Amino acid sequence: MTLVPQTLDEINYWDLDMFEHGDPHEAWRIQREQAPVWWHDRDGGEPFWSVARFDDALAVLSDPLLFSSQRDGIIVRTDAALESGPPGAGLGIQPMIHTDPPRHAPLRSIISHNFRPRSIAQLEDQIRAAAVECLERAADERDVDFVIDIAHQVPAAITFALMGVPEDMWSRLADLQHQTVTATDPEFTHGRSPQEAAAAASLELHTYFAQIIQERMEEPGDDLLSQFLQGRIDGEELSWMQVVAEAGLLLAGGLDTTRAAASAGGILPLIQNPDQLKLLQDDPSLIGGATDEFVRWASPITSEARTATRDCELAGQKISEGDRVVVWSPSSNRDEAHFEDPYRFDVLRNPRHLGFAFGEHYCLGVHLARLTLKVEFEELLSRFSGFELTGEPARVRSNFVNGLKHLPVRLTPK
């Protein structure tokens, strides 16, 4: 266990202690400097080419035919995961995030109109109402866990509403989603192994969404699941199993990413950098532009894996067909060659970052995430004048998702 690596040889990206308690940014800094594209072969999981710089990451994400998401999935695989294969492999069903051209774009286009800027703008009142309700509860409490009580609540309410999920199921489905995506964190596995917890949670999610999708087949609505059922690819309707897979993807995309940006990328660095907080308090019109710095800083998805479909070269390294290639977005978003003073949190930066990925798999919900963060922080800063840490932030134990699982904060109402 090396919490803060000092040399390239000490870097082990399978060491989750480093991600939870140490400093992976120091590992990425060393790698960017000494071996930007580096063959990582350590006990714990599959070997892979580790990509640490912005431009190299951009090259990988920009070429989905050369660097496939579909072939082996986008999650770098532990030894245990290698035994079971990528998500949905047993059924031959992959959600859109695990697909390549030519299938990916038509699958995405079935619901993409919901996420265009004009459509998202129409959700502002709904988002604001969710934020107000959440923050009114927080004002009564004053001492809150910002992750659970605020950062999670607002995007979860919008995600579940768009999917047409009844409110009495929100809490349970969120818990199951955490068990699948962050099964490497014991807090979410309830005493079971990561494999057991993820399998059980996936089965329960599959069962629930199979039932609700059967109901939508009989009585469709205008929610996202109904739209998938009504969609066609080359004249063929989607199977109910495909829609179940997409439901899981929508859940994961809607719950973890925006809450990480709000907590690890928003309120925590604002507390730690009071000059930046004051800028937003003095001029709330800056909040919209600051949201991309929140995302850059948090980089909610830590790693994205691809598989090379033919022999190629990246940053002078010869990559063989079948090799796994892993892009680290937090590292790309601290690349000294791309960002001036990258370790400085700057709400005026307006960065071009990879926190929403790039290319074929550029985040479908990017406009929703930005609007949710903007509205949430407008309401937050209009109601509270002070924010004080009352305990240590707790990071997620994972090398796939980034962010915080707990952030104790005392709020001072205006």
Place of tokens 């798999």: 361
Residue % of the chain over a pLDDT of 70 = 98
Residue 146: partners with Cβ closer than 8 Å, 6 or more residues away: 262, 263, 267, 268, 407, 408, 409
Helix axes 194-218, 240-262, angle to 10 degrees: 120
Tokens of 408: 């104790």
- Answer whether residue 96 shows pLDDT above 90: yes
Q: What is the pLDDT of residue 322?
A: 98
Give the tens place of pLDDT for each residue, 246-258. 999 999 899 889 9
Asked if residue 54 is part of any domain, the answer here is: yes
pTM for the full model?
0.96
Q: Residue 132, exposed/middle/buried by CB under 10 A (0-12, 13-18, 19+)?
A: middle
The reported pLDDT for the residue numbered 90 is: 46
With beta carbons less than 8 A apart as the criterion, state whether 262 and 355 touch.
no
Q: Has residue 317 been placed in a domain?
A: yes
> Does position 209 have pLDDT exceeding 80, yes or no?
yes
Q: How far apart are CA 21 and CA 352, in angstroms?
A: 28
DSSP state of 306: E
CA distance linking residue 368 with residue 74, whole number of Å = 23
Instruction: Read off the CATH number of the domain in which 33 is found.
Output: 1.10.630.10
- Is the pLDDT at 83 greater than 90? The verdict is no
3 lies in some domain: no
Cα 59 from Cα 76, distance rounded (Å): 18
Residue 89's pLDDT band (boundaries 50, 70, 90)?
very low
- Digit-coded pLDDT (tens) for 288-323: 999 999 999 999 999 999 999 999 999 999 999 999
What value does the mean pLDDT take over residues 239-248? 95
Is 1 within a domain?
no
pLDDT of 403 strictly over 80: yes
360 in any annotated domain: yes
Selected residue with higher pLDDT from 190 and 382? 382
The pLDDT of residue 191 is above 90? no
* Cβ neighbours around 81 below 10 Å, total: 19
The answer to whether residue 269 sits within a structural domain is: yes
Instruction: Look at residue 88 in the predicted model and tell me its pLDDT.
Output: 46
Q: How far from chain centre, in Å, is Cα 151?
A: 13
Residue 2 lies in a domain: no
CA distance 371 to 356: 14
Question: What number of CA atoms fall less than 13 Å from residue 262's CA on the CB side?
Answer: 34
As a dihedral over the C-alpha atoms of residue 111, residue 210, residue 69, residue 337, rounded to 10 degrees, the angle is 60
Distance CA 253, CA 51 (A): 23
Is pLDDT above 90 for 15? yes
pLDDT for residue 269 is more than 50: yes
pLDDT band with cut points at 50, 70 and 90 for residue 76: very high
Give me the residue label for tokens 């019109």: 285
Tell me the residue type at 374.
K
Bridge partners for 328 per DSSP: 303
Count how many domains the chain has: 1
pLDDT over 80 (residue 168)? yes
Separation between Cα atoms, residue 396 and residue 115, nearest integer Å: 28
326-384 residue pLDDT tens:
999 999 999 999 999 999 999 999 999 999 999 999 999 999 999 999 999 999 999 99
Rounded Cα distance, 223 and 81, in Å: 33
**Cα–Cα distance for residue pair 204/94, rounded to 1 Å:** 18
d(C-alpha 144, C-alpha 384), whole Å: 13
Q: Give CA–CA dist 31/142, Å, rounded.
A: 42
Residue 340 lies in a domain: yes
Range of the domain at 349: 8-413
Q: Give me the DSSP letters along 220-287.
A: --SSHHHHHHH-EETTEEPPHHHHHHHHHHHHHHHHHHHHHHHIIIIIHHHHH-HHHHHHHHH-GGGH
